[in-house]
Amino acid sequence: MIEQVFMRIGFFAYAKIVAGLGPTPYATHLICMNILNLSFCFGDGLSIAASALVGQNLGRQRSDLSILYGKVGQRIAFICSTFLFILFIAGRRELVWLFSKEEEIIVLGASIMVIMALSTHFQTSQVVLNGCLRGAGDSAFVAATSMISIAVIRPILTYILCYPAGFGLAGAWISLVVDQGFRFVAGFVRFKGGKWTKIRL
């Protein structure tokens, strides 16, 4: 619950900052976020599966299988995100065109799609890793990293890159990549450390 609260606060602040860029950048942003949902679908599904399998096998005192399922989930996530990376790069104009026929939005959206593609591997992998940690009962760590990354780092970095740095909408998406990358690194280090296998609920 705490994790979700901070995520919604961060998402609200992020959207508010982007909305200040004007109607065309904001419309482009919403289109790109809808396309990015393809990545979330893969990640969320794998996260739920990883969470269940990790939790079940830790309950059976089979931490070795929990680690194995976590690694398999990450590999599947990598394959899915590689497919999405290629799709987002190769079909960036066509995907934006499905939502809008305005050339200004298509051109801006196509450039954002390149940045979006760079986030796919981080996004799907970090969701799976955090699913493993939740399944092991390490929810406090996941909530803390989400609070720091989504509610603090992303909004602050978005504002700096969008306005003082002058990157505009690209700055908002660069901050999204940084956010996903931070959560991936934090989750990977935590998973690799193995302390989550010894949590007693």
pLDDT mean over 124-137: 92
- Does this model's pTM top 0.85? My answer is yes
pLDDT mean over 178-200: 91
Task: Output the pLDDT for position 108.
Answer: 97
In the predicted structure, residue 5 carries a pLDDT above the cut 90 = no
Residue with tokens 């298509």: 106
- pLDDT bucket at 41, cuts 50 / 70 / 90: confident
Residue with tokens 């949902």: 37
Domain boundaries, the chain: 2-198
pLDDT mean over 84-99: 95
